[in-house]
Amino acid sequence: MIKIKVPSTTANLGPGFDCLGLALDLYQEVIIDKATDGQKQIVWEGDTLLPDDQNLVAIALERALSEMGAPEAGYRLTMCPTEIPISRGMGSSAAAIVAGLYAANYLLDGKMSKTQMVDIACDMEGHPDNVVAVFTGNLSIALMSDGKPIYSTIGVPDDIVFKAIIPDFPLKTSASRKALPDVYTRAQCVHNISRVSLLIHAFHAREYALLKTALHDEIHEPYRLPLIEGAPLIFEAIKSNTQAYGAFISGAGPTLMAITSRFDDTFDKALNLDALPLNHRWKIITLQANKTGATYEYME
């Protein structure tokens, strides 16, 4: 029996649409145990309860067992309460998929390679940014080439933190993607290519003053922002009232993310969400980068 721990993620980081993902220290945990009688049982701890056909942990687990030729493997899967907000642009689906694949690999006695698990995860998620970051931790640069994921990782410095500004309403990724245009101008493409290049350099060289420019996007944020009520007000308050290095929409939204110095203890008070004319409740959570990616430990 093992306990699997997978991190949340924030994707895109502004201009890195569908190719940048960063692991954060909010987690989903599951416990998987082998069942010698061939029975398959899913147990939920806490208030959350999803049908099996909506539980991405179980779906990923069963897909991996099937592809590895062991669909009959029995198990007891315990779904622990998750820290990751659902449908908030913080990688809850990617975390669930990776947790399911790790669970399947335990049942398979480790017969799946990491490459196989990453391939299945990318296929299930539809893009590699979030899922690769769940595997690797830190900041991942991921893309698909000839149908296969190619990725690399940059270590995230300890002197920055991430301020997740999370609303009380969800936003489905499908709706957020539907808002995007099918065609972009050359100027928009050049804008994003230059910014994402600068962004990667800023992280690598710790030149955080570049982030305010590097985080600016023209591919998805202008089209998603109208879907997130209150977001323009919050972005303007971050820019005008705080010392944040920059801010962006986390994944498909609706969560917003700001990057600040680890030593800046003024952000929450300076942003002062209570003073803004918002129709929904928002909360601020301070997060650090996860450096390990998915992990597991044996239990008695």
**Alpha-carbon distance values, 300 to 4, 84, 104 (Å):** 14, 26, 19
Residue 60: CA count within 13 A, CB half-sphere: 28
User: Do 121 and 229 fall within a single domain?
Assistant: no
Omega prior to 181 cis, within 30 of 0: no
Q: Which residue has the tokens 């179980």?
A: 58
User: Do 148 and 6 fall within a single domain?
Assistant: yes
Q: Say if residue 287's pLDDT is above 80.
A: yes
Mean pLDDT of 17-38: 96
User: Do 192 and 257 fall within a single domain?
Assistant: yes
Measured distance CA(211)–CA(163) in Å, rounded: 15
CATH number, residue 12: 3.30.230.10
User: Do 116 and 236 fall within a single domain?
Assistant: no
User: Do 142 and 61 fall within a single domain?
Assistant: yes
Domain of residue 115 covers 2-154+290-298
User: Do 179 and 192 fall within a single domain?
Assistant: yes
Confidence of residue 16 (pLDDT cuts 50, 70, 90): very high
CATH number, residue 270: 3.30.70.890
Residue 145: CA count within 13 A, CB half-sphere: 5
**Alpha-carbon distance values, 13 to 220, 228, 295 (Å):** 11, 17, 24
**CA proximity to 151, closest of 23, 24, 290, 20:** 20
User: Do 266 and 242 fall within a single domain?
Assistant: yes
Condensed to tens digits (0 to 9), the pLDDT of residues 106-119 reads 999 999 999 999 99
Q: Transcribe 41-89 into DSSP letters.
A: EEEE-SS----GGG-HHHHHHHHHHHHTT-TT--EEEEEPPPSSPTTSS
Q: How many structural domains comprise the chain?
A: 2
Instruction: Cite the DSSP H helix spans in the chain.
Output: 56-67, 92-107, 114-125, 129-136, 173-178, 186-205, 211-214, 221-224, 231-241, 267-271
Would you state the pLDDT for residue 88?
A: 94
Cβ atoms of 124 and 60 closer than 8 Å: yes
User: Do 21 and 125 fall within a single domain?
Assistant: yes
User: Do 270 and 173 fall within a single domain?
Assistant: yes
User: Do 170 and 118 fall within a single domain?
Assistant: no
Cβ atoms of 219 and 184 closer than 8 Å: yes
User: Do 19 and 128 fall within a single domain?
Assistant: yes
User: Do 6 and 122 fall within a single domain?
Assistant: yes
Please report, rounded to a whole number, the percentage of residues in the chain having pLDDT higher than 70: 99
Condensed to tens digits (0 to 9), the pLDDT of residues 201-257 reads 999 999 999 999 999 999 999 999 999 999 999 999 999 999 999 999 999 999 999
**CA proximity to 10, closest of 275, 215, 283:** 215
Beta bridge partners of 250: none
Condensed to tens digits (0 to 9), the pLDDT of residues 51-70 reads 777 899 999 999 999 999 99
Measured distance CA(80)–CA(8) in Å, rounded: 15
Residue 62: how many CB atoms within 10 A of its CB?
Answer: 18
Cβ atoms of 151 and 143 closer than 8 Å: yes
Mean pLDDT of 68-88: 95
Confidence of residue 197 (pLDDT cuts 50, 70, 90): very high
